[in-house]
Amino acid sequence: MRVRQAVPSDAADVIALFEKLYTESTFLLHEPGEMNRSAETYGKRMTEGFERQNSMMFVAEVGGDLVGIVFGSRGLAKRTSHSFLLGLGV
């Protein structure tokens, strides 16, 4: 297993992993099919978060396939800048 920082070109694989996780658990925020984003849109969102330095994402790979993810984002507004949302899926 290899753990590395995600990059925007991972967007399609990240979306596919999220969709798989959404079908396997009812404890996640989204339901299957609810995260309706294109890889291009999600990749841009990843880039913006990384550039603003308010989000991070790491992926776990086995044989080149994504099998896990950990991500987090800090609040953008001054009143929420102290907060950090952390998510983990395997």
pLDDT tens profile 13-31: 999 999 999 999 888 888 8
Nearest Cα residue to 20 out of 73, 62, 1, 12? 12
In the predicted model, what is the mean pLDDT of residues 76-83?
Answer: 90
Q: What's residue 37's pLDDT?
A: 86
Residues 45, 54: contact at Cβ < 8 Å?
no
Name residues whose C-beta falls within 8 Å of residue 26's C-beta, 6 or more positions apart in sequence: none
The whole-model pTM stands at 0.86
Asked if pLDDT for residue 35 goes beyond 90, the answer is: no
Convert the pLDDT of each residue in 54-69 to its tens digit.
899 999 999 999 999 9
Residues 32 and 45: beta-carbon distance below 8 Å:
no
